Structure 1
Amino acid sequence: MTQRPALPFTLDEQLCFALYSTSLAMTKAYKPILERLGLTYPQYLAMLVLWESDDISVKDMAARLNLDPATVTPLLKRLESQGYVERARGTEDERIVYIRLTKAGAALKRSAREVPAEILCATQQTPKFLLRLRDDLTSLRTTLNDYIDQ
């Protein structure tokens, strides 16, 4: 029987804590930048999806964000009340709800163009380092999702 290597067991040695605490720090870094746009971090992510591909179903948006549709719906309702999106039922299947940018939502994209540059400055890292980190994290997420789906 092969013996497993002894793995670290303190909080600061845990990968999960490094990812979790870094995610919290990243969200905090975004907060003042996004407040100027009137968006929360989850709303910003939803708007990024819409700026990529407008007129998307709630189900597809939830999948794109790796969230449950029930989690996305209240977020989209808030964006609708701010005048950035509109929700519409499908014409062929009324059970499907689509999200579309309004003129104000499309115009907000221009104001949001500086967000990535501000975050790049906040990280004090090179673009090359951050792109590699993003790719590594994406690969890790895919591997973990494959494991979960087994």
Structure 2
Amino acid sequence: MKNIFIFLTICLSVSLNAHNLIINVMDNSDNTITVRGEFSTGEDAAGAMIRLESLVSGDILFKQRLPAESELIVNIPKEPYQIVLDGGPGHTIIKDGIAPLEGFAEELKEKVTDVNTKLSKPENLNNEWDFLTIFFFTLCLILFALSIYFSNKNTNKILEKIKEV
């Protein structure tokens, strides 16, 4: 029985592996960048939304879903920007944009210091637990401890009855 439990635990843990979204940004040295999205499992992130957001005004400079090959070539904006790869809830990655060959204008760089509320932010950081997660995790631990307690209690009763016979 113990061996079956260990086998099932191993099988379930292998199938429950998590995945993270990964963004690769490459400078093509011709005022374009190649943006590639994929998951840490090696699966392509086709269909994920790519946005280039201005760090000066907060406007969206470019917006398109990744095609089947999970790779896009995009012209580099003339103003400071960030690249947002949005693969759905909990799968948002933000990366600073690469400067064009001639660089960003100094007056635009100075405007970036102002906090812009329009900019995207990752929805869910992996190291933060929300209240419901903590609540249900605690509930599971309590229920697990109770099941062990009652199982032990009942096993002892059965062993006592066997000794009596």
TM-score, shorter chain, exceeding 0.5: no
Q: In proportion to residue count, which structure has more strand?
A: 2
Question: Structure 1 length as normaliser, TM-score?
Answer: 0.29
Question: Structure 2 length as normaliser, TM-score?
Answer: 0.27
Q: Specify the structure having the higher radius of gyration (Cα).
A: 2
Q: In proportion to residue count, which structure has more helix?
A: 1
